[in-house]
Amino acid sequence: MQGYILHVSKYRDEDVIVTILTPDALLSLYRFYGARHSTVNLGYKIDFEIENIVNVTISRLRNIIHLGTPWIGHAPTVMIWHHFIRLLNTHLRGIETVDPFYFNLLERLSRSLERQNPKRACIDAYLEMLAFEGRLHKEPYCFICDEPVEENLALGRAFLPAHTHCIYGRKLPFNETLAMLENQKSLMLDETTVNNLWDVLMEGM
């Protein structure tokens, strides 16, 4: 079975509980001495087996193989990937059965990180997620005051459009930002805007 490690929490001295996103489930598995294993790391894609033990509530994680990516040695990219993974873990917390969309999203994002600005790649992935979840608001109406936004466009959490003064947000380029929401691509946005949107994303999914 394959999955992405969304969270690793210590249990007792060196054992860990690992949260893994597979194509159709979010699993919590127990790993003895997991803190010592180089294969158990946040954001890693792994191949693994599950061992079910009679009368033990949490199954065990076994035979782990790390499935590496070309960017794994590039620290800035790994750091951004970690941020995205933590946000996704919080977003999916408490869910057991998940749509394959989320696993496939990480597959695509991981490939994009090989060739794209990592923040831009994460923003595009997030836009895809908002669209999939039916949460993408494309119309320029402020979610705080309900009035149309004509110039001073900012985006709040979940990339909701707003007036800059209503959310004390940074002013974004109007046409380019609306085009981004329409096409779910940040292609037209400059690096400064991408950095601003990254800060909004860091507030939570």
Where does this chain bind Zn ion (CB under 5 A)? 142, 144-145, 163, 166
Decide if 44 contacts 58 (C-beta within 8 A).
Answer: no
Nearer to Zn ion, 149 or 194 (CB): 149
Closest CA to 123 of 83, 169, 152, 166: 83
CB of 45 to Zn ion, least distance (A): 42
Query: Please, which residues bridge with residue 141 across strands?
Result: 148
CB of 165 to Zn ion, least distance (A): 7
Residues 101, 88: Cα–Cα separation, whole Å: 12
Residues 159, 13: Cα–Cα separation, whole Å: 41
CB of 171 to Zn ion, least distance (A): 13
CB of 167 to Zn ion, least distance (A): 8
Nearer to Zn ion, 117 or 164 (CB): 164
Closest CA to 100 of 26, 5, 17: 26
Nearer to Zn ion, 145 or 202 (CB): 145
Nearer to Zn ion, 20 or 162 (CB): 162
